[in-house]
Copies of this chain bind each other. A is one copy, B any other.
Amino acid sequence: MTGSSARECSIANALAVVGERWSLLILREVLLGNVRFDAIAAATGGSRDILAARLRTLVAAGVLEKRPYSEQPRRHEYVATESGQALQPVLLGLMEWGDRYVTQGPPPTVWEHSCGAELHVAAVCAACGSPVGAGRSRLVRLGGVDQD
């Protein structure tokens, strides 16, 4: 948060919540159903101290919820709130991009959509349903920092 004169922007705001290292990988695991601390630690490869810190901030930000699944012994699991579930398209978009431009070889993870096809996400305009992409949109209002 260097924050004095930077552009006011929901991308930056979003990244302030989920943009730190491990946050999105934690969310990936939670959405995959890996909801216990040790499972998250094993699957992400992150060290336990920062994972604990991230889980705290994600819970505080309302992205995850910490739910006890047993008293005596006290045990909890982390589940995605509505806000956390709403990040699934972002994760799938990153996966799609990673599959295409980063990962060597075939995609390590493959999903099937309810329609039966192998899942690949596309970003479309919510109003008309046609693709969103370079040259298909125009800036109406831009937050902070005057621009050309």
Contact = CB atoms under 8 A, between A and B. Distances in A.
Each complex incorporates copies of this chain amounting to 2
Contacts of A98: 9-15, 17
Contact of A34 (B92, B121, B141, B147): B147
A134 B25 contact: no
A112 B139 CA distance: 6
Interface of A: 2-17, 19-21, 24-25, 28-29, 32-34, 42-47, 61-63, 83, 85-103, 107-115, 117-130, 132-134, 136-145, 147-148
30 contacts: A4-B45, A5-B45, A6-B43, A6-B44, A7-B45, A10-B103, A10-B108, A11-B94, A12-B98, A19-B19, A20-B21, A63-B101, A88-B132, A88-B133, A89-B121, A90-B94, A92-B132, A108-B141, A109-B139, A111-B137, A111-B139, A112-B140, A115-B130, A117-B126, A117-B127, A119-B127, A119-B132, A120-B127, A121-B125, A122-B124
